């Protein structure tokens, strides 16, 4: 297969990465994509950093060996923090793009002098050096409030009822002064899949996530590397998941429609 026609790999611990995949398809409709949801090892957010790093390295090795992928998008904030550097050091020829919590746009677009920015993410994302240095960078001009959300990605992953998600969010937000929050950063790729329910709690705050920015960045990297496909047909999306769940692709496609506002 010609080099530029090889697929792009997109990985997450499960369905969350489709909130990035939806924008990748929009930005690069002709690219073939292999989407890998690591359902068997989910959730990543309650694991140790070293464990997530090793899992991610092994998954990437498999995607290179089996699918000859030409680039990797880590559509998981937790895995980006734990493994992006190690992946870049190990697979030096592969462009690797990772998502990170969208604190920068949240601060810049808030229109306030010292906005209160709530960052929702997994416990591991918020405990990692990558997040603390990002938060420190913006702290002089804003108040960054980090809110670990254990259990939330698991509910989304298993398609829990809205009422169950609402009830967990109620508990998670009980320690927060809701009225004081100006912007919310969805720092886990699962959370945009329930943005409508999160929004119910914060009538006036704006929500930010890194899905679109990561897709734009991916397109830019492929262009820089000269590896954009020359196909003019619609790209093929292959859905894989490590638990071989037969419902995975249906759930993924349903969530892509939700992200794009289609019913």
Active-site amino acid positions: 76, 188
Minimum distance from CB of 124 to ligand DGL (Å)? 7
Q: Provide the β-strand partners of residue 98.
A: 74
Q: How far is the CB of 220 from ligand DGL (least distance, A)?
A: 21
Residue with tokens 């329930």: 194
Tokens of 145: 């409030």
Helices (H) and strands (E) in the chain, counts: 11, 9
Is omega for the bond preceding 11 within 30 degrees of 0, making it cis?
A: no
Nearer to ligand DGL, 80 or 229 (CB): 80
Cβ 154 to ligand DGL shortest distance, Å: 7
User: Which residue from 212, 189, 187, 220 is spatially nearest to 95, judged by alpha carbons?
Assistant: 220
Is 135 in contact with 103 (CB distance < 8 Å)? Answer: yes
Shortest approach of ligand DGL to residue 13 CB, angstroms?
3
Q: Please identify which residue in the block is written with the tokens 């993410």.
A: 121
Would you say 229 or 259 has its CB closer to ligand DGL?
259
Complex with ligand DGL: residue 16 or 115, whichever CB lies closer: 16
Under the rule (CB under 6 A), what is the footprint of ligand DGL? 12-13, 16, 42-45, 76-78, 122, 125, 153, 188-190
Q: Which residue has the tokens 């010292």?
A: 114
């Amino acid at each position: 297969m010609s080099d530029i026609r090889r697929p792009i790999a997109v990985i997450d611990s499960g369905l969350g990465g489709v909130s990035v995949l939806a924008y990748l398809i929009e930005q690069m409709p002709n690219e073939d994509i292999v989407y890998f949801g690591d359902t068997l090892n989910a959730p990543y957010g309650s694991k140790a950093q070293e464990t997530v790093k090793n899992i991610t390295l092994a998954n990437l090795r498999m995607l290179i060996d089996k699918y000859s992928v030409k680039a990797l998008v880590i559509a998981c904030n937790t895995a980006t923090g734990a493994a992006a550097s190690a992946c870049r050091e190990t697979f030096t020829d592969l462009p690797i793009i990772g998502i990170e919590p969208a604190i920068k746009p949240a601060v810049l677009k808030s229109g306030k002098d010292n906005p209160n920015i709530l960052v929702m993410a997994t416990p591991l994302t918020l405990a990692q050096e990558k997040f603390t240095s990002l938060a420190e960078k913006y702290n002089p001009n804003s108040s960054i409030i980090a809110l670990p959300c254990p259990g939330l990605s698991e509910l989304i992953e298993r398609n829990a009822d809205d009422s169950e998600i609402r009830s967990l969010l109620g508990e998670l937000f009980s320690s927060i002064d809701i009225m004081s929050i100006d912007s919310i950063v969805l720092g886990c790729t699962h959370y945009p899949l329930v943005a409508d329910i999160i929004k119910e709690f914060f009538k006036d705050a704006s929500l930010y996530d890194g899905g679109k920015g990561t897709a734009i960045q991916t397109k830019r990297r492929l262009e820089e590397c000269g590896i954009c496909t020359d196909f003019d047909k619609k790209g093929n999306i292959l859905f894989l998941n490590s638990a071989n769940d037969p419902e995975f692709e249906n759930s993924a496609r349903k969530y892509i429609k939700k992200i794009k506002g289609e019913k």
